[in-house]
Amino acid sequence: MTDSRDREATEGDWESIASLVGRPPSEAGTLRQYLQRTYDPWISWVAESPATESMEVVGAVVAGVPRAVGATEGAGGGLSGPGNKEGRIVFLGVKPRFRRRGIGRRLLDQALAQLREGQVGRAMLEVDGTEVEALSLFRGAGFEVTGQSLGLVLPLGAGEPLAGTPLPTGDTLRPLALEDVPHLTGLLIQLGIERATQPHDDLMTFTPAELEAWVQRPATVAHAVWEAADPQTPIGLAWATRRPEDALLRFVGVQDDARRRGIGRALVGALLAESHPSRPLRAQLNDPGEEQEFFRRLGFEAERIIYRLAREL
C-alpha cells in the first residue's frame, strides 16, 4: 500500500484537481474562478503520494458555503458570517488505483472539520445514483438521503407522435407572446401555490416577471392553452429551452379543473414541434411523485438519478 499525505491545495494543484473532476488541465483556472464566485469561503484539500518524485496528487476534496443571492466577490462573509450555516461538499474524488485506502474518507473528514470549525451546522452534497462506492462512503460518514432528482428523456423518435398533438376540446393552444404574460397571473398563482410546498422543477421563482424573462430568451419555446369560452383565460402553460443537441423542458402545468383533458400532452407536443421533434426532449423532476406517471405515459424514460444527502455537523 502506498502512503499518502493530505494538505490544503495550492494554486499549482488545480490542473490535477481539474483532471479528477474530468476536465482538461486547460480549464483549471476557469474551475477555480467558478468556485471563488460561487462559494464564500471555499475549502480545497488534496492527497498526494510520495511514490513519485513529483508527489502525485491522487485525490481532492472541494467544499464551501454557497454565496447568498446577490452577494458579490469580496463580500467577506466568512464561514462564521451571518446566515452561513449550511456548507456543501462540491467535489470529492480519488484516482482509481488509489481507492479503497481511506483517502476519500480522510479528505472528507478534513473538509467537514473545517466547516464545523467555521460554525457551519449542516453539510449537503449530491451523488449520481450509479456511483455506488461514493454513496457507501458518504453513508458511512453519517450522511443521509434527503431527496432525489430524476433525469428523464423522451428518446429520439418517441416524440414524433406527440408533436402537433391536437387538443381534444375546443380550447386554443398557441405560442406564448410577451403581451400574454399579464393574463397568466391567476394561473401562475394557482400553480405556484401547488409547487410552493414541493417544487419539482429548478425554477428560482414562479412569478410573471420570471416568466417574462424566460419568454424573452432566444432559446425559449413557450406555449399556453386558453379556454374556448374565454380567450383571455389561460388554463395551461409550458416552456422549454432549445439546446444544440436536445431541448430541456422547464415547466408544464395545467389548471386543476382542466386536468385529464389532454392539455398537458398537447402542450408538450407543441414544444416538441417547435423545438425539433427529431431531437431528444429532457426533463428533470425533483423528488418526483404522481407527476412521474404523466411523463411515463408520454414515453419519457429515466436516464439518471441524483441523490441529495445531508448530515448535521
* Tens-binned pLDDT, residue by residue, of the chain (313 aa): 456 789 999 999 999 999 998 899 999 999 999 999 999 889 999 999 876 556 789 999 999 999 875 444 444 444 445 445 799 999 999 999 899 999 999 999 999 999 999 889 999 999 999 999 999 999 999 999 999 999 999 987 777 788 777 887 789 999 999 999 999 999 999 999 988 888 899 898 899 999 999 999 999 999 999 988 887 889 999 999 999 999 999 999 999 999 988 999 999 999 998 887 778 999 999 998 888 999 999 999 999 999 999 999 9
The pLDDT assigned to 233 comes to: 87
Q: How many helices (H) and strands (E) does the chain have?
A: 8, 12
The per-residue pLDDT for 53 is 57
Instruction: In whole angstroms, give the CA distance from residue 267 to residue 283.
Output: 14
**Which three cell numbers, joined as nine digits, stand for 264?**
398537458
Cα(95)–Cα(59) distance, integer angstroms: 6
pLDDT at position 266: 93
Instruction: Enumerate domains of the chain plus CATH numbers.
Output: 5-142 (3.40.630.30), 153-310 (3.40.630.30)
Please state, in angstroms and rounded to a whole number, the distance separating the CA atoms of residues 8 and 45. 4
Three-state secondary structure call for residue 258? helix
Beta bridge partners of 89: 63
Question: What is the model's pLDDT at position 120?
Answer: 93
What's residue 183's pLDDT? 93
Q: How far is CA 249 from CA 95, 189, 202, 254, in A?
A: 35, 20, 11, 15
Three cell numbers written together for 62: 472541494
Give the pLDDT of residue 51: 64
Which of 175, 156, 159 has its CA nearest to residue 269?
Answer: 159
- Contact (Cβ atoms closer than 8 angstroms) between residue 271 and residue 281: yes
Q: Quick one: pLDDT at residue 140?
A: 96
Own/partner pairs for 179-187, CB < 8 Å, 24+ apart? 180/224, 180/234, 181/208, 181/211, 181/212, 181/215, 182/208, 183/232, 183/233, 183/234, 184/208, 184/211, 184/224, 184/234, 184/237, 186/233, 187/234, 187/235, 187/236, 187/237, 187/253, 187/255
Amino acid in position 157: G
**Which pLDDT score is estimated for 54?**
66
Task: Please give the pLDDT value at position 29.
Answer: 93
CA 77 to chain centre: 25
According to the model, what pLDDT value does residue 72 have?
40
Strands 122-128 and 86-94 come out as parallel
Q: What is the pLDDT of residue 243?
A: 93
The confidence score (pLDDT) of residue 75 equals 40
CA angle 286, 39, 198 (to 5 degrees): 20
pLDDT of residue 70: 44
Tell me what pLDDT residue 278 has.
76
User: Which pLDDT does position 52 carry in this prediction?
Assistant: 57
- With cell 458555503, the residue in question is 65
Q: How remote is the C-alpha of 231 from its chain's centroid?
A: 36
Identity of the residue numbered 267: L
Name the grid cell of 61. 476534496
Region of 22 please: left (phi>0), alpha (psi -120 to 50) or beta: left
What is the pLDDT at residue 246? 92
